[in-house]
Amino acid sequence: MDFELSDDQRAVVDAVLALCVRHAGPKRAVELRNAGGGCDAALLEALAAGGYADIARQEGMGLLEATLVAEVVSRHAGVVPYGAQAIVAAGLTDQPLVGPVALAHDWDLGEPVRFAAHARTLIFGDDDGVRLIPLAAGDAEPVRSDFGYPMGRLVSDFAGRGADLGAGAHARLASLWRLALAIEIVGAMDAALSTTVDYLKVRKQFGRTIGSFQAVQHRLAECKVLIEGARWLAFEAAHKGAPAEGTATAAAYAAAAATRVARETHQLSGAIGFTREYDLHVWTLRLQALSLELGGVSGHRRVLAALRWGLDTDS
Amino acid sequence: MEFDWSAEDEEHRREFREFLAAVLPGDWEEIAQHGPGSDAQAAFSYEFCARMAERGWLTQHWPTEYGGKDADPWRHSIIGEECWAIGEPRGPQYMNVNWIGPAIMRFGTDEQKRHHLPLISQGKVLWCQGFSEPDAGSDLAALRTRATRDGDDYVIDGSKIWTSYANHARYIILLVRTDPASKRTRGISVLLVPMSTPGIEVREIPSVVGDRYFHEVFFTAARVPVSCRLGEENAGWDVVSYALQFERVGAARYARAARTLDRLVAICRERGLTRDPLVIDRLAEARAICEAARLLNWRVIDQRAHGSPPTADTQLARVAGTNADRHVGELALEILGPEAMESGTFADANFRLAMTAGVAVGATEIQLNLIASRVLGLPNE
Ligand SMILES: Cc1cc2nc3c(=O)[nH]c(=O)nc-3n(C[C@H](O)[C@H](O)[C@H](O)COP(=O)(O)OP(=O)(O)OC[C@H]3O[C@@H](n4cnc5c(N)ncnc54)[C@H](O)[C@@H]3O)c2cc1C
């Protein structure tokens, strides 16, 4: 048992932080959106060049290190499917995939899916298993969305396409996906909260900084409790190799926390929080998107109850 | 960073669970319903703690020179989790081993150590904590109970309130003002006072939480020798701050909440309630809340295991633990419905144990204040 980062882990986190300061950030996310809303190819490339794209498969590294990186990338609002590649794809298969990668279930067909219109590989789950599908022109079309990521709609039915990953891959996909979601939510919540805290340390009304009002402080402090809980749940699940119950717990907790943190940070920021000029929306709208993915809060909870206690509505 | 228990720690937990199964009486669940201060539980604690001491477990985290084994904080936390989860068979003695003993080790005279530490490490003594007063709750430094020097004695006058276990305790660890001109945290001293001292009167405060939960303790010219003082005169605040570091995470509420939740699921299953998707949703929500609290508490144990000074992560852990406990307590009422109104039912007993979580050992709002200032760096008014 040890909650401290090892020296190697600290070095990874520091390096990715420096990389994100250079290549990512909320301004860059907004810029990309204004330019038509693609995936951040330069950031993906920088992450790959630094060896972070496949860090989970490197000697002495693993899912936990990928998770540490994913948190930093999310905190810096990277417009890249880092979790899908470095956590989900890396955990599912040893095959190198052509990125960007998008994740979808059969029930996502026709719905907005993160990165679908820009991905070159689709990791696709349905009742029969999981397939790795190279995407071709016409498989997906862009969807206009304000929820912080480039969204696309999958319009093919993908029947018979792609390499099947075999039995067991279906549950594994869901579990890794939940881990990626949980940590991306943590990064975005943390950024939303610190943006808000920083603002409330300087914004004055009634002759005092708003952050000195106790009614405000307690709401922010409660958000912090939620964020830290979500973070450690994700780290523990990552260290244990993404066991299904652990990732369902982490995702259930994080997705519920996400909507609360998004609501509170907006409320406490006042009108400026709704402007495009101010960074907050970059994270809060993403939080909504993330909290809806893969069955959302109730979906994660259903899985958790099934795994923890064998409960399901048919039993 | 890694989250695995060592094989030795796992073995320790297994062995301790076997021990619990062997020594807890058949009607333990019944006994444990009334809280660690009840007559039955206080009485059982002597038997239980003596047997823990025999196995070398009661004070294993103490230094060897005081009868411990220098076990790391993780080891001791395993005992804390297992005990608290099933309703604390150590009764009030968990306080002795967690922080009263360590405070005596650090600040006690040789005589105090020789007398008190063996009693504690053998499981033979109950203590109570005389901190809160009618006008000094969250604002503990407002305390007024005074101890006036008279030759080699102190004469104590004043009163304490909410004192758990006062009815059973042989000693009280008492905060008093020794400098009458002092204000706030200066001029306070700690006294280790026998409850048999003439001039001490204990009155139960009837409560809805359980029998014999709270007491008032009145001091009327209660005379004790100066040798009862722990630490320097007027430096008692430092003693308390040191002692309470050991109580950083305090009771393992998350462990109790998680176990109660498992029992709630079992009851729901028997009643055929677990096919209801709303029930499933709420149970899983509660599970995630308990798990988050567990990790935040473990984070604090880890800091201690690393020998780092306490941080406001302690407050995060406490708020999360309190939330978990109350959440599960309320959920059991909600799911089981009106049957919980009957005294002694599972949901009733559990709810009433959980309902004090946000106030006992420091109210949640105070923890939130500390998180706001120390973790978030928000300014004061
Ligand atoms: C089950 C139980 C057992 C206990 N056992 C003991 C014991 O053995 N020995 C002992 O000494 N004490 C004991 N206590 C007392 C406990 O330490 C106090 O209840 C606690 O510190 C709060 O004090 P109070 O009850 O006076 O509440 P108050 O301080 O009067 O607070 C009332 C409310 O006001 C809020 N509040 C107070 N100050 C602020 C502030 N600055 N900002 C925002 N909100 C604020 C509080 O959070 C709380 O919600 C026990 C209490 C309970 C419930």
pLDDT at B232: 97
Exposure of B188 in the CB half-sphere (CA atoms within 13 A)? 23
pLDDT of B33 reads: 82
Q: Which residues of B touch A63 (CB under 8 A)?
A: none
Pocket of ligand 1 (CB under 6 A): B 128-132, 137-138, 162-164, 356, 359-363, 365-366, 369
CA-nearest of A296, A265, A303 to A282 is A265
- Asked if residue A272 lies in contact with residue A213, where contact means CB atoms within 8 angstroms, the answer is no
Buried b vs exposed e over A174-211: b needs ≥16 C-beta within 10 Å?
Answer: bbbbbbbbbbbbbbbbbbbbbbbbebbeeeeeeeebbb
**Domains, chain B, ranges and CATH?**
7-125 (1.10.540.10), 129-234 (2.40.110.10), 248-375 (1.20.140.10)
- Which pLDDT band holds residue B249 (cuts at 50, 70, 90)? low
- Does the pLDDT value for residue B173 go beyond 90? yes
Say which DSSP state A188 is in. Answer: H
CB A247 within 8 A of CB A179: yes
Burial class for A159, CB neighbours closer than 10 Å (0-12, 13-18, 19+): exposed
Q: Is the dihedral of CA B21, B24, B30, B34 positive or negative?
A: negative
Contacts of B74 in chain A (CB under 8 A): 1
DSSP state of A85: I
Mutate to test the interface with A, among B5, B280, B294, B302 (most CBs of A within 10 A): B280
| In contact, B347 and B339? CB cutoff 8 Å | yes
Cα distance between residue B207 and residue B221, in whole Å: 28
Calculate what percentage of chain B has a pLDDT beyond 70.
Answer: 99
**Does B291 contact chain A (CB < 8 Å)?**
yes
HEC profile of chain B: CECCCCHHHHHHHHHHHHHHHHHCCCCHHHHHCCCCCCHHHHHHHHHHHHHHHHCCCCCCCCCHHHCCCCCCHHHHHHHHHHHHHCCCCCCCHHHHHHHHHHHHHHHCCHHHHHHHHHHHHCCCCCEEEECCECCECCCHHHCCCEEEEECCEEEEEEEEECCCCCCCCCEEEEEEECCCCCCCCCCEEEEEEECCCCCEEEEEECCCCCCCCEEEEEEEEEEEEHHHEECCCCEHHHHHHHHHHCCCCCCCHHHHHHHHHHHHHHHHHHCCHHHCHHHHHHHHHHHHHHHHHHHHHHHHHHHHHCCCCCCCHHHHHHHHHHHHHHHHHHHHHHHHHHHHHCCCCHHHHHHHHHCCCCCCCCCHHHHHHHHHHHHCCCCCC
What is the per-residue pLDDT for A313? 79
Give the pLDDT score at B128: 96
Select from B1, B296, B376 the Cβ nearest to the Cβ of A220. Answer: B376
B3 touches chain A (CB under 8 A): yes
* Percent of chain B residues past pLDDT 90, beyond the cut: 87
pTM above 0.95, yes or no: yes
Interface with chain B: mutation pick from A67, A205, A232, highest number of B CBs within 10 Å:
A232
The answer for B 58-77 residues in CB contact with A (under 8 A) is 74
Q: What are phi and psi of A114, to 5 degrees?
A: -60, 130
Asked if pLDDT for residue B35 goes beyond 80, the answer is no
8 Å CB contact of A1 and B379: no
Burial of B367 (0-12, 13-18, 19+ CB in 10 A): buried
Tens digits of per-residue pLDDT, B52-63?
A: 999 999 999 999
Q: Which positions 248-277 of B are in contact with A (Cβ < 8 Å)?
A: 262, 265, 269, 274-277
Q: Which of residues 164-183 of A touch B (CB under 8 A)?
A: none
Other C-beta atoms closer than 10 Å to the C-beta of A273 total 19
| Nearest-angstrom CA–CA distance, B339 and A274 | 48
Q: What is the pLDDT of residue B353?
A: 87
Gyration radius of chain A over CA positions: 19
What's the B161 CA to ligand 1 centre distance in angstroms?
A: 11
The residue ranges of chain A whose pLDDT is under 50 are none
Enumerate residues 6+ apart whose C-beta is below 8 A from A191. A26, A74, A75, A76, A77, A283
Q: A2 vs B1: CB contact, 8 Å cut-off?
A: yes
Please name the residue of chain B whose CA is at the shortest distance from the CA of residue A230: B292
User: Whose alpha carbon is nearest atom 30 of ligand 1?
Assistant: B137
The three-state secondary structure class of A295 is helix
A225 in contact with B, Cβ within 8 Å: yes
Mean pLDDT of chain B: 94
Q: Which ligand 1 atom is at minimum distance from the Cα of B138?
A: 29
Which residues 61-120 in chain A show a CB within 8 A of chain B? 64
Own/partner pairs for B231-235, CB < 8 Å, 24+ apart?
Answer: B231/B107, B231/B189, B231/B190, B232/B189, B233/B178, B233/B189, B234/B178, B234/B179, B234/B182, B234/B186, B234/B187, B234/B188, B234/B189, B235/B189
Q: Does A34 touch chain B (CB under 8 A)?
A: no
Residue A113 DSSP SS3: strand
Q: Write the pLDDT tens digit of every residue in B225-241.
A: 999 999 999 999 999 99
- Residue in this structure with the two tokens 């920083």, named with its chain if needed: A198
Q: Place B248 in a pLDDT band, splitting at 50, 70 and 90.
A: low
Domains of chain A: 169-309 (1.20.140.10)
> Which of A212, A253, A308 has its CB closest to that of B379?
A212
Q: What is the pLDDT of residue A315?
A: 58
- Give the Å distance between the CA of B211 and the centre of ligand 1: 19
Q: Is the ipTM of this complex over 0.90?
A: yes
Q: Are A29 and A77 in contact (CB under 8 A)?
A: yes
Is B298's Cβ below 8 Å from some Cβ in A?
yes
Residue-level pLDDT at B93? 95
| Residues of A with Cβ-Cβ distance to B319 under 8 angstroms | 221-222, 225
Of B262, B295, B371, the CB nearest to A233: B295
Distance from the Cα of residue A230 to its chain's centroid: 13
pLDDT of residue A129: 92
Residues 6+ apart with CB under 8 A from B328: B257, B258, B260, B261, B264, B286, B289, B290, B350, B354
What pLDDT, on a 0 to 100 scale, did the predictor assign at position B358?
93
